[in-house]
Amino acid sequence: MIRPFHAFALLSLGITGACATIPAITGDPAVTVTATAQTPPVGTTNEDAADDPAIWRNPASPAASLIVGTDKKGGLYVYDLKGTEKGFLAAPGLNNVDVVELGDGTVVVAASDRSDLATAQITLALLDTATGKLIPAGKVAVGPGEGYGICIDKPNAGTVPGDSFRVFSAPKNGVIYSTVISRRDADFAGTTTTIAAVPSQPEGCIADPRTGTLYIGEEVAGLWAIDTATGAKRMVAPIDNKLLVADLEGLAIAPEGEDGGYLIGSSQGDNAYAVWRLPDMTPLGRFRIAADTFGSTEETDGIEVDNRDFGPDFPGGIFIAQDGINPPFAQNFKYARWDAILAALEARP
């Protein structure tokens, strides 16, 4: 989201969305990396529109993998790893998005749907991986609240055996839902339970099925770890204006081994990204995407990471960030090499 201070500053210059943000608070120093590709601007101009990316990795040809990204005012885009648009599905009101591949190769896209502000819903689509086109596959009602954060509980390989998968939803009212979605002939149906609640508005959502942990970002408070079996929760990274500056937005995970890897959070308040080592949530540091050929990133909402090989452009994994201020164009998504980010973090003094 664009906070009121920033919106006022931009509007007072008469160039909404067309200049870099000057954060009111700056956290600890961050290393810098640069983007290596970007998508075209989303179709909605002069508004806070682009939001969240998700990755489908092509196991047969990783360089032919696809990215799905939301335009909150317009619908769902599909891009390739060069940033080229491959498909678009009109569906206003979508916010966060995730992707899962079922055991038979069907690729399902699930997006939080806020078109009904009283009831959180999940919009589903099927991804044609050969063409990049999206095929509408209906909606599943979740429960009371305005749809916002969403993530799918899936193994590291990304493929879920069978015809069912679990989606976690984090609407603005702070109630955390678990919805088991099952394929039934030509459509999908869902069964929802409530697993937890946080005190104020959440959004960022990422699941780690290795440990049965759901990570939820409460925007102005910090990062929660929730036991997906019991609903027990604990604050593992509070907003401290050092590692994290509010708002805490998108979350992403790069798993390694049985319980290791990295968790990344968008420290939107000062245009940075915080990184922790798993399983103990040990702070590793912070990074920014700095200005270069494809520009810097500011006001980032959604992020995604995959630490597997994606071919010659991203041999050590890919990190994707929504760019909330992308002058002189509308918002878009920028790609960076995950191995370059790790190298920069590990090389810092």
The number of helices, as runs of H, and strands, as runs of E, in the chain is 2, 26
| Per-residue model confidence (pLDDT) at position 85 | 98
| Per-residue model confidence (pLDDT) at position 17 | 38
For residue 9, pLDDT over 90 is answered with: no
Rounded Cα distance between 71 and 75, Å, is 5
Task: Tokens for 237, please give them.
Answer: 């990274």
Task: Round the average pLDDT of the chain to a whole number and report it.
Answer: 93
What is the residue-wise DSSP string for 165-228?
EEEEEE-TTSEEEEEEEEEETTEEEEEEEEEEE-SS-EEEEEEETTTTEEEEEETTTEEEEEET
Percentage of the residues of the chain whose pLDDT score is greater than 70: 93
| Per-residue model confidence (pLDDT) at position 10 | 35
The answer to whether 336 touches 35, Cβ cutoff 8 Å, is: yes
Task: Tokens for 329, please give them.
Answer: 């164009």
Rounded Cα distance between 42 and 320, Å, is 15
**Domain boundaries defined on the chain:** 4-347
Rounded Cα distance between 80 and 231, Å, is 37
Rounded Cα distance between 100 and 158, Å, is 6
For residue 143, pLDDT over 90 is answered with: yes
| Per-residue model confidence (pLDDT) at position 67 | 98
| Per-residue model confidence (pLDDT) at position 291 | 96
The answer to whether 262 touches 254, Cβ cutoff 8 Å, is: yes
For residue 135, pLDDT over 80 is answered with: yes
| Per-residue model confidence (pLDDT) at position 23 | 55
pLDDT digits (tens, 9 = 90+) for 260-285: 999 999 999 999 999 999 999 999 99
Please compute the mean of the pLDDT values over residues 93-122 and round it to a whole number.
96
Please compute the mean of the pLDDT values over residues 123-132 and round it to a whole number.
98
Percentage of the residues of the chain whose pLDDT score is greater than 90: 88
CATH classification (class only), 4-347: mainly beta
Rounded Cα distance between 347 and 284, Å, is 11
| Per-residue model confidence (pLDDT) at position 13 | 27
User: At 167, is the pLDDT very low, low, confident or very high (cuts 50, 70, 90)?
Assistant: very high
| Per-residue model confidence (pLDDT) at position 186 | 77
Question: H or E element: which one contains 8?
Answer: helix 4-12
Q: What is the pTM of this model?
A: 0.93
| Per-residue model confidence (pLDDT) at position 348 | 84
For residue 7, pLDDT over 60 is answered with: no
Please compute the mean of the pLDDT values over residues 165-191 and round it to a whole number.
95
| Per-residue model confidence (pLDDT) at position 322 | 98
For residue 20, pLDDT over 70 is answered with: no
